[in-house]
């Protein structure tokens, strides 16, 4: 009996299995020994409670389910308030393995929470003394909004990823050549005509402070 075809098929199947497991481990950031993740994670909660005109009013733990899904090494989850304008902005900065941090986007979360996007996400640039960063920017409205208020945004959302350098509106962050990623996500309420964007104003004050905390070693 000729066993050669069987042995060839077995070798091919074994190679494919190993390759698929290797790719899965790579995409999920399972091998993350390239940076001191503990030291990097501890810097996030130490960010100041005030930045520019913005003052922290909440500092909350991530829901357990979210923490387990994202496998965060560290995070910041706060709400800031601008006393001069009355604007409030929620901001979360997450640090963890590339796979889980890369795949969860606001379009999924907010669309399942009774809101609908008003348009496709677009790239927005924010320039500060810390440099030039790019974010995905998208606005949502309540799914049950009346026709007269259909075009009015109820929620203004910004998000991006970083490997320790500038923030990027990446199309495919899961394929970045790094084991660990930072993600930032902000939400606020824009003005009725959509021209005043508290999230952008907050980023101008917050990004220089954040840059020192996430700087790549």
Write the secondary structure of 164-196 as one string of H (helix), E (strand) and C (coil). Answer: CCCCECCCCHHHCCCCEEEEEEEEECCCCCCCC
H-type helices in the chain, by residue range? 4-27, 37-43, 64-70, 98-103, 106-111, 198-214
> Do 115 and 141 contact (CB within 8 A), yes or no?
yes
Residue 20 has a pLDDT of 40
The pTM is what?
0.78
- pLDDT tier for residue 41 given thresholds of 50, 70 and 90: confident
54-70 average pLDDT score:
90
Residue 150 has a pLDDT of 55
Residue 2 has a pLDDT of 52
140-165 average pLDDT score:
80
- pLDDT tier for residue 80 given thresholds of 50, 70 and 90: very high
Residue 111 has a pLDDT of 63
What digits encode the pLDDT tens for the residues 172-209? 888 887 888 999 999 999 876 666 799 999 999 999 99
């Amino acid at each position: 009996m000729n066993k050669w075809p069987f042995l060839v098929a077995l070798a091919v199947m074994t190679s494919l299995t190993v390759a698929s497991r290797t790719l899965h481990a790579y995409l999920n950031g399972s091998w993350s020994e390239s940076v001191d993740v503990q030291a990097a994670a501890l810097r996030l909660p130490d960010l100041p409670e005030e930045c520019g005109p913005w003052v922290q009013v909440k500092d909350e733990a991530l829901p357990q389910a979210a923490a387990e899904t994202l496998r965060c090494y560290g995070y910041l989850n706060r709400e800031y308030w601008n006393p001069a304008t009355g604007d409030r902005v929620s901001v979360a900065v997450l640090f963890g393995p590339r796979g889980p941090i890369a795949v969860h986007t606001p379009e999924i979360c907010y669309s399942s929470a009774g809101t609908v996007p008003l348009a496709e996400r677009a790239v927005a640039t924010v320039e500060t003394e810390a440099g030039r960063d790019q974010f995905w920017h998208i606005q949502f409205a309540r799914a049950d909004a009346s026709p007269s208020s259909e075009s009015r945004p109820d929620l203004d959302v910004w998000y991006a990823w970083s490997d320790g350098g500038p923030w990027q509106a990446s199309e495919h962050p899961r394929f970045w050549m790094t084991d660990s990623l930072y993600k930032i996500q902000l939400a606020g309420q824009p003005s009725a005509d959509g021209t005043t964007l508290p999230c952008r104003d907050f980023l101008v004050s917050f990004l220089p402070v954040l840059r020192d905390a996430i700087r790549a070693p």
